[in-house]
Amino acid sequence: MGCILRESAVGAEDPCQVRIGVPYGSDPYLYLSQARAIRVGGSVGYHGATGDHVSVGIAAGSPVSATSVSSGVAAFDPVAVGSTTVQATASGSPTTGYGTRSVTVQKPRFHRYELSMRTRITDLFGIEHPIIQGGMHYVGYAELASAVSNAGALGIITGLTQPTPEDLSREIERCRGMTDRPFGVNLTILPTLRAVPYAEYAAAIIDGGVKIVETAGRNPEALLPPLKAAGVKVIHKCTSVRHALKAERIGCDAVSVDGFECGGHPGEDDIPNMVLLPRAAEELTVPFVSSGGMADGRSLVASLALGADGMNMGTRFIATKEAPVHENVKRALIEADELQTRLVMRPLRNTERVLTNAATERLLEIEKDKGGDLTIDDIRHLVAGAGSRKVLQEGDMDAGVWSCGMVAGLIHDVPTVQELVDRIMAEAESIIRGRLEGFLTH
């Protein structure tokens, strides 16, 4: 199955079909193109076209008034429902050119139209959008997972962030109280400083009625029999085609293919997604999603073009209002660029991509000094979970190393999860129906 764009109407009328865009080139005018009026957080907004800078306002005398203006989006007061005419004005000033233009929109009322995509991943997991929020230590709590699922994507609770299987059971129940949509649980199987009762965690997932599990790290084969017997769908994170094929052979229902760009553990092959994804598409028969460097609609469309059935985002979801992390962390992601990550623990063949900070630089110094004699005990105090927990939860940004992808360079704001997912899907539609179709000649 390929990617199928779907439109599902909420309400009986057609959507507003006006977008006010930015001026471009040296031509002092604004262009109009089709777009949808969407409802976000109880307000109706026009999404501005991609461009340099644009402001959107409501003309005096219109039956509604603008409540906020940012990044080309004007949010209208909910009393807009039922209005017959709205006059909106957009203006912008890119490098050259400037202009304003007004347009009158006449529709019986505003309605929310939602774009969704049907892929093998949306069918497998029963979700609206082919977007997965990957498991993240000390980030994947019920607050974030439920917000992602409520937005039509797939939210994931991080199982081992919960100290015990009993705590995981309570977190699952808490998430179930926040969403009635599908969500999953991540179980990461990596070398740890303490023994982990994986079987008990799996039992907590099964007993909690969760039907989707994301596994990562080492081979999850030992966990599959009880999960499969309970009807759980398993997606395994892999950093190479050979590992993805092994996951397929042992019975995983899908795989997440992690390119070298990803935060956390990118493996030891150092293959970026531009090569890794089409290679996976050549070899796999099960559905798979991209992971690593994913941030927006461009990421989703590129992933689909390279053969994936959707995308997994981790770092990007940290910079959302619902992510239960300290504001210092979100600020650090906005301020970082794509050059601010480092690879640590390479000599131990347990490579992790982290955001640079004092702890990271100290760790790299120790690795350099120790050379081939490096052991985990030499850096335990910097990589143990206590440090990253202090970073993420307390905002002590130098307390330890913490996972972060190169995608930090594409993070420029802290939206709600709903706003982020809606924006990704709107941008994906614009690219597919506008930019890509525009390249075709007949």
pTM more than 0.85: no
Reference 186, options 249, 234, 128, 242; nearest CA is 234
pLDDT of the residue at 385: 83
DSSP 3-state of 154:
strand
User: Does residue 119 surpass a pLDDT of 50?
Assistant: yes
Residue 330 CA to its chain's centroid (Å): 14
Q: What token pair was written down for 205?
A: 């997932």
In the chain, what is the greatest distance between 2 CA atoms, to the nearest angstrom?
75
**Helical H segments across 134-288, by residue range:** 142-150, 165-176, 198-207, 224-229, 241-250, 273-283
Residue 128 has pLDDT above 80, yes or no: yes
DSSP 214-239: EEEES--GGGHHHHHHTT-EEEEEES
Q: Can you give the pLDDT at residue 437?
A: 85
Q: Convert the pLDDT of each residue in 221-234 to its tens digit.
A: 999 999 999 999 99
21 vs 297 pLDDT, higher one:
297
CA atoms within 13 A on the CB side of 97: 18
Cα distance between residue 324 and residue 304, in whole Å: 30
pLDDT above 80 for 306: yes
Mean pLDDT over the full length of the chain? 79
Q: Which tens digit of pLDDT belongs to each residue from 389-424?
A: 999 999 999 999 999 999 999 999 999 999 999 999
pLDDT in tens, 47-102: 333 333 333 343 333 333 333 333 333 333 333 333 333 344 444 444 333 333 33
Residues 71, 74, 76: CA angle, nearest 5 degrees: 155
- 217-224 long-range contacts, CB within 8 A, separation 24+: 217/188, 217/189, 217/190, 217/265, 218/189, 218/190, 219/189, 219/246, 219/250, 220/187, 220/189, 220/247, 220/250, 220/252, 221/250, 221/251, 222/198, 223/187, 223/198, 223/199, 224/250, 224/251, 224/252
Distance (Å, whole) CA 265 – CA 343: 9
Query: Whose CA is closest to 182, among 213, 206, 161?
Result: 213
The residue extents of the domains of the chain are 7-114, 119-324+416-425, 341-403
**Strand duo 37-40 + 183-189: pairing:** unpaired
Q: Exposure pattern of 310-339 as b/e (b: 16+ CB <10 Å)?
A: bbbbbbbbbbbebbebbeebbebbeebeee
Distance of alpha carbon 76 from alpha carbon 98, whole angstroms = 25
- CA 354 to CA 64: how far, in whole Å? 47
Which band of pLDDT confidence, cut at 50, 70 and 90, is reported for residue 440? confident
pLDDT at res. 190: 78
Return the closest-CA partner of residue 313 out of 214, 381, 241, 228.
Answer: 214
Q: Which residues, at least 6 apart from 255, have a Cβ–Cβ distance to it below 8 Å?
A: 235, 236, 237, 238, 244, 247, 248, 280, 284, 286, 288, 289
Residue entry with tokens 């994931």: 156
**Token pair listed for 314:** 């981790």
User: What is d(CA 366, CA 67) in angstroms, rounded to the nearest whole number?
Assistant: 53
User: Which residues sit opposite 236 in a β-bridge?
Assistant: 215, 255
Residue 7 in this model has a pLDDT that exceeds 50: no
Give the Å distances, CA to CA, from 90 to 30, 84, 427.
8, 20, 19
Residue 369: CB atoms within 10 A of its CB come to 10
Q: What is the pLDDT of residue 434?
A: 84
- The tens digit of pLDDT for each residue in 167-213 reads 999 999 999 999 999 999 999 997 666 789 999 999 999 999 999 99
Pairing of strands 233-238, 254-258: parallel
Helices and strands: H and E segment counts in the chain: 15, 21
What average pLDDT does this structure show over 258-279? 96
Overall fold of domain 119-324+416-425: TIM Barrel (3.20.20)
Q: Kindly state the tokens that stand for 14.
A: 């057609």
24 pLDDT higher than 50: no
pLDDT-derived band at 20 (thresholds 50, 70, 90) equals very low
- Residues 319-374: tens digit of each pLDDT: 999 999 999 999 999 999 999 999 999 999 999 999 999 999 999 999 999 999 99
CA distance 170 to 157: 12
CB 345 within 8 A of CB 379: yes
